Amino acid sequence: KARDIYLSMPAFRDCGDRYYIMCDLILDRDFDEAVSSGENGINSLKRLAARTYSTSETLMQEKIYAYAGRMKKAGNYSFARDIFAILKAYGYSDSAKQIEECTYQIACGLQAKGQDLEAAKLFASCSYNGSADRLNACYYAYAGEKIKLHDYAEAEKYLKKCLSYSDSRDILNGWKEIYDRADTLYASEDFAAAAKVYASLYNWSDAKAKYTDSRLAYASQLRANGDYEAAREIYLQLNNNTEVTETDYLIAIKLYNEGKNNAAYTAFSALDGYKDSALYIRKVYLSSARVYMNNGSYKDAEACYLEAGNLEGATEELKKCRDYIIDECLAAHNYTEAYRYMGLNSRKADMLTVAEEL
């Protein structure tokens, strides 16, 4: 209000001078309010940086610079950097250099807390003395954490950024030696050993893919040697359902060849028509029919022959089976049942004889 009154009568006494004094006092008041607001006053400082005192064009920027210096000395580097950034827009003093130093100190704080990747981004953005070494140290430390988590792919990425730092190059060369040893084992068809070595590298390079390849090759090797159960377990672990089904099929054939008809039937039935499993089910019935025949269980044999259909002479064997059933019926004087089976076997002459008995 005082400023406005002095402005309204600039020619009276020293009102003109007092007007400028009021303007300067207003700037002082606004600056003090901005400072007392702390970090919330940053926008006010931006506006004030463009203002000038009647006695100096740079006095306000000097005051803001001094304030930034106090914040920096107090360890509030983030806020100090923001203030120096305001002054940098005006090219004031060494604001750019101060921003570099504040950024460096912020990065050092993050590094001390173990936030290496965040610190590295800041070190990479400034050229302050020592930043390059700190940057490499952050990359190395971050890679070390990833190695602990077996994330070798990520670790390799950052070790390559700091090859000249500490033993980064030796670590990478060590992984290459391990990888080459696994390749040698794979080439010699020692797939189980190769898989273990590849596994030790986890996801470095293409070790993960080669680990899977080695496991698949080992499973195929086991299956070729007849160790179907061990092979099937590996296929299950790798979620390879196609090979699991193929292995189940081979297990079913093995059971069939061993004469384990009940188990073979269950195994082939579970395959739901895979390959010629339906044909093998008929073969299982035929095999079971022959077992029943040898045991004298002709009715059970007949039921199995019927399921086998005309497979591998089953029709002729079925007739023979029914002849045995006819003999059993006649011996038991069960002429009605004998007559029925004679009809099934087309024994017309015998049917007349039985009819007369009836």
> Tens of pLDDT along 190-215?
999 999 999 999 888 899 999 999 99
pLDDT at 36: 93
Give the contacts of 155 (CB within 8 A, at least 6 positions apart).
Answer: 143, 144, 146, 147, 204
Residue-level pLDDT at 87: 96
Q: Given a cut of 70, is residue 4 above it in pLDDT? A: yes
Spatial distance between the Cα atoms of 220 and 191, rounded to a whole number of angstroms:
10
Cα 28 to Cα 349: distance, rounded to the nearest angstrom: 134
Amino acid, single-letter form, for residue 306: L
pLDDT digits (tens, 9 = 90+) for 155-176: 999 999 999 999 999 999 999 9
Q: Which own/partner pairs from 173-178 qualify as long-range (CB within 8 Å, at least 24 positions apart)?
A: 175/201, 175/204, 175/205
Provide CB contacts within 8 A for 198, sequence distance 6+.
179, 182, 207, 208, 210, 211, 214
Which band of pLDDT confidence, cut at 50, 70 and 90, is reported for residue 348?
Answer: confident
Token pair belonging to 173: 């060369």
Q: How high is the mean pLDDT of the chain? A: 93
DSSP E strand stretches across 96-187: none
User: How would residue 19 be classed by pLDDT, with cut points 50, 70 and 90?
Assistant: low
Looking at residue 13, its pLDDT comes to 84
- Residue at token pair 């210096």: 69
Q: Taking residues 303-332, what's their average pLDDT?
A: 94
Rounded to an integer, the average pLDDT of 62-77 is 95
Kindly report whether the global pTM for this prediction surpasses the value 0.85.
no
Q: Going by C-beta distance under 8 Å and a sequence separation of 6 or more, which residues neighbour residue 276?
A: none
Q: Residue 201: name the closest of 210, 188, 191 by CA.
A: 210
For the chain, the C-alpha Rg in angstroms (whole number) is 47
Rounded-to-integer distance, Cα 26 and Cα 48, Å: 11
CA distance 82 to 343: 107
Are 34 and 41 a contacting pair, CB within 8 Å? yes
Mean pLDDT of 171-185: 94
Which of these, 78, 59, 65, lies nearest to 35 by C-alpha position?
65
| Cβ(169)–Cβ(163) below 8 Å | yes
Pairwise pLDDT comparison (27 vs 119), residue with the higher score: 119
Q: Write out pLDDT tens, residues 236-268.
A: 999 999 999 999 999 999 999 999 999 999 999
